[in-house]
Structure 1
Amino acid sequence: MLHKALKTWFGFDHFNEGQEEIITSVLKNQPTLGILPTGSGKSLCYQLPTYIKRQPTLIVSPLISLMDDQVSQMKAQGESSVSCVHSGMDAEEKRQNIDKLSSSRFIFLSPEFLLQGTNIKLIKNINLGMIVLDEAHCLSEWGYDFRPHYALIRKVTKYFPQATLLALTATAQPFLIDDLNDMLETKFHQIKTTMNRNNIMLSHKNFSNDDEKLTWLLPFIENSGPTIIYVSSKKMCATLAHAIYEHGFLTGIYHGDMSYQERHTVQHQFINNEIPVIVATSAFGMGINKKDIRTIIHYHLPTSPSNYLQEIGRAGRDGTLSQAISLYQPDDSFLLETLLFTDAISENDIQLFELGELIDMNKHEILTVLNEIYTIQTLKRIFNTVFRRKQLSYYRMLGYINLDQCRRKYLLEFFGESFINKPTYCCDIDSEELDLKQLNRKKVKRKMDYLEKLQSLFK
């Protein structure tokens, strides 16, 4: 029955690994956590059950770019019964989508919108068949101290006891399922395949300073194919993009403080190969439907193995060999510590909040949101746990710098996962290195000689 439905609705003959098991669990009305690698078709795990159940589905998503990409993909495939509301829309676009909510088959909303004022009334009377928690790892890793509204999502799900819960992610530490059970006050059935992507070669390079990094980077990207370079800050986005432009390449920057239209434009240019390189913070890439990204470079290490696997997973979604390269110089450890711990909410912050004392405004807003359902004592326990998890992630990433063992094995072990069949191009420690050569077209700033013209014609 499922294979026939798959063929009818999507034209596919076979499921990817894990998809059929997740869909079967959902159709049995079991709260389900599905863990599938990036690019393996997680969206089909809620789209097909929606068609089979013939009831609308609410997709709660933490990122605007992710919602936009999924909505545009569905519309391109002929699905018109879709509505989406987020903060990047202008007033008229929001109004049009809000008017369509009650008649839509797929409804994409952010946790902040759902929990803002009386917005829940807009969907409260819809007979939802499913509620999807997209990028569910964010509930554990961002839900408390960065996106607190996502941690309160049970205030929404309680209105729909008949709706089946489906949480989806590409990376999950062992504690994710326990966190979900606590947050949603239910018991999730976990279906996990692997977080490993065999077609991505892993390598790392140490430098003495940022000048050495840049000296290596600029000639390297001449033949790196479509490339994302991740950096730690919006200031570094601009600095590095300028250096790349001066080297002769069109490039774009992407960070959370850009306007919605600016981010959308850069994303569109990259997807359509109008620019070969994007310099971005971690705000970029989640859900981006560009299958031919060949190279992911971390100019600065990410703050956790989970972030690293999520970000390198944007490479090689077409199954072609690709590469993930991380760079490091000694001052970078300070950047990691700053990103992780400078604004961390401490037990003392929570104590001052309880007493009504002045604390950082952002911290006060987060604690105010969470205090709607969590007691002060519970908040102390939560943020002590958050701090310990951040420390473990930080130390794991620092250990990545000077490894003497397989990088793939080292990363997957953090998630309690192992692998048996080592790919030919595994990592720079225990296999031959991938010699990927895909010419990136330069922005012509001078007359080309005939050899460059030939390269441009036959790239």
Structure 2
Amino acid sequence: MNKLQQALYQNFGFHTFKKGQEKIIQSVLNGKDTIAMLPTGGGKSLCYQLPGYLLDGMVLIISPLLSLMEDQVQQLKALGEKRAAALNSMLSRNERNAILENIGRYKFLYLSPEALQSDYVLDRLKRVPISLFVIDEAHCISEWGHDFRPDYSKLGQLRKTLGHPPVLALTATATKNTLLDVMNLLDLQHADRHLYSVNRPNIALKVENAADTAEKIHRTVQLVEQLQGPGIVYCPTRKWAEELSAEIKAKTNSRSDFYHGGMESGDRILIQQQFINHQLDVICSTNAFGMGVDKADIRYVIHFHQPQTAEAFMQEIGRAGRDGKPSISILLRAPGDIELQQQIIQMEYLADHEISSILSILTATEERDEKKLRELLISHGVSETQARTIIHLFLSGKTSIELMTQELSHRMELKLDKMYHLSALLEQKSCLRESLLSYFSEAYKPDHTQNQCCSRCGIDLTAYEQKGEGNKMERFDNWRSELNRIFGLQSEGELC
């Protein structure tokens, strides 16, 4: 057992690395800027967590989602690591100040790219040595990426402000154009690159066509009842997540709930923990759920609508079967699906008169703090996604209606092109896995140890169905009854 394997076992209890992890970690320990692409479930977080124990100084992790940050912090704390924190909007002012005032105590600090725009946060970070600057979901840097975040594009300059620490840029799904953009924007021209296949051969891929939406609803309920869980049903909107969960509750014995960004953060964390701890059988969710969730035994993923991009589709697929056991992804398609996704994309676009009104708001204030500007626009009915993009353009000097219209139109066309590309890919008659991998410039190498590939190559769905009676626990009704169950209390009065 070499030194790295010893550290792996001592800190995480694992005897062996997953594919690619050891090479990526060695690159980081050698002080090299590193770009790594590992498939969903490939163990990206270990690639900075293990070096964190072997390097002096703080590991700073930039992450796009609150739920992702919280989950990673909870995983570290479960391993006994007390020097981990997430600096985000879920904290009270006192909690936030306590972290910043004692910032030298932390080994792992997670924060959003937006939080890093704060001069105060930057000032505190400058006071501690940063051994590694980690950018999770690095595809968010690139306009070619499927989830572009304007604040990610500033990370290259912010890294220099923090003393130019080594970078580890991580992603699960990125095309060649996206990776080149990441390298250029972060100035990583001499970085080590460790790029591994996005293919997950243990996950069978199935596409089913339905006559209409009603048939898709019926089929979703049927699949949830038949398939061995736990599972995730991905939905295009918050409303669909709620309605499908209610339908599953009403028509099956499965314990179902919904998850989306419109919920209170505490409710989202509760749902996530219930799912992780086997108190829920299926989650109906928008695509945010599942990123970083430490649940290896998800047996199926149902895509209720076609995702917007091949990258998003591959990420949703990859939430299943992280334990390497046979799992399945089922995409349900019906007439009108493309039009719905098209409308969702076009809703982010703003007409000239809307841009004019927003510019009037921005020019009428001397405020230039991005968070406060975002809150200002949201209070005027602008969506968070629109606000982020508009403020990014405004502060970068694109302050005319013409320039903003041109930029927003360009971004909308990029998204529509990706959506149409995936739709065309799904219409092909060849192997679905081969078609998906070709999008990422990968040649498909059939894995003959896996018996099931995709619906075009032939799938026996019975292999993924429940065998006998499932071990269903009692439904979770509310926090009081759950505490009663856990602690053996007899009455609500005993909780006071």
TM-score w.r.t. length of structure 1: 0.88
Q: 1:410 aligns with which of 435, 456, 459?
A: 435
Q: Deviations over 1:388-439 (max 9, x none)?
A: 5323321122124433111111111111112212332110111333421235
Q: How does 1:209-248 map to 2 (within 5 A)?
A: 209-224=212-227, 225-248=229-252
1:137 pairs with 2:139: yes
Q: 1:71–1:174: structure 2 CA closer, same or farther, 3 Å change rule?
A: same
**Equivalent position of 1:367 in the other structure:** 390
Q: 1:304–1:71: structure 2 CA closer, same or farther, 3 Å change rule?
A: same
Amino acid at match of 1:299: F
Q: Deviations over 1:283-311 (max 9, x none)?
A: 21101111111110011111001011111
Q: CA RMSD in A?
A: 3.1
Provide the rounded CA distance (Å) in 2 between the counterparts of 1:433 and 1:168: 35
Identity of aligned residues (%): 34
Q: Which has the higher contact order (CA 8 A, sep 6+)?
A: 1
Structure 1 residue 37 displacement after superposition? 1.1
Q: How does 1:125-204 map to 2 (within 5 A)?
A: 125-140=127-142, 147-187=149-189, 188-204=191-207
Provide the rounded CA distance (Å) in 2 between the counterparts of 1:47 and 1:425: 34
Of stretches 149-158 and 130-139 in structure 1, the one that deviates more from structure 2 is: 149-158
Q: 1:185–1:162: structure 2 CA closer, same or farther, 3 Å change rule?
A: closer
Q: Helix, strand or coil for the counterpart of 2:142?
A: helix
Q: Helix, strand or coil for the counterpart of 2:35?
A: strand
Q: Deviations over 1:195-239 (max 9, x none)?
A: 000110100111111111122222221132111001111111121
- Structure 2, unpaired ranges of 5+: 365-376, 476-496
Q: Deviations over 1:252-298 (max 9, x none)?
A: 11010101011011111111111111110112110111111111001
Amino acid at match of 1:220: L
Q: 1:256 aligns with which of 247, 261, 273?
A: 261
1:21 pairs with 2:49: no
Amino acid at match of 2:457: D
Provide the rounded CA distance (Å) in 2 between the counterparts of 1:194 and 1:253: 31
**Equivalent position of 1:291 in the other structure:** 296
The answer (yes or no) to whether the contact 2:257–2:283 under 8 Å persists in 1 is: yes
TM-score w.r.t. length of structure 2: 0.81
Amino acid at match of 1:240: L
Q: 1:243–1:350: structure 2 CA closer, same or farther, 3 Å change rule?
A: closer
**Equivalent position of 1:437 in the other structure:** 465
The answer (yes or no) to whether the contact 1:83–1:104 under 8 Å persists in 2 is: yes
Provide the rounded CA distance (Å) in 1 between the counterparts of 2:147 and 2:320: 29
1:324 pairs with 2:329: yes
Structure 1 residue 322 displacement after superposition? 0.4
Q: 1:11–1:266: structure 2 CA closer, same or farther, 3 Å change rule?
A: closer
Provide the rounded CA distance (Å) in 2 between the counterparts of 1:421 and 1:60: 36
The answer (yes or no) to whether the contact 1:353–1:364 under 8 Å persists in 2 is: no
Provide the rounded CA distance (Å) in 1 between the counterparts of 2:215 and 2:138: 38
The answer (yes or no) to whether the contact 1:152–1:373 under 8 Å persists in 2 is: no
Q: Which has the higher helix share?
A: 2
The answer (yes or no) to whether the contact 2:249–2:255 under 8 Å persists in 1 is: yes
Provide the rounded CA distance (Å) in 2 between the counterparts of 1:270 and 1:231: 17
Structure 1 residue 48 displacement after superposition? 2.1
- Structure 1, unpaired ranges of 5+: 446-459
Amino acid at match of 1:415: F
The answer (yes or no) to whether the contact 1:143–1:151 under 8 Å persists in 2 is: no
Q: Helix, strand or coil for the counterpart of 1:204?
A: strand
Structure 1 residue 365 displacement after superposition? 5.0
Q: Helix, strand or coil for the counterpart of 2:169?
A: strand
Q: How does 1:35-54 map to 2 (within 5 A)?
A: 35-54=37-56
1:424 pairs with 2:454: no
Q: 2:423 aligns with which of 398, 421, 425?
A: 398
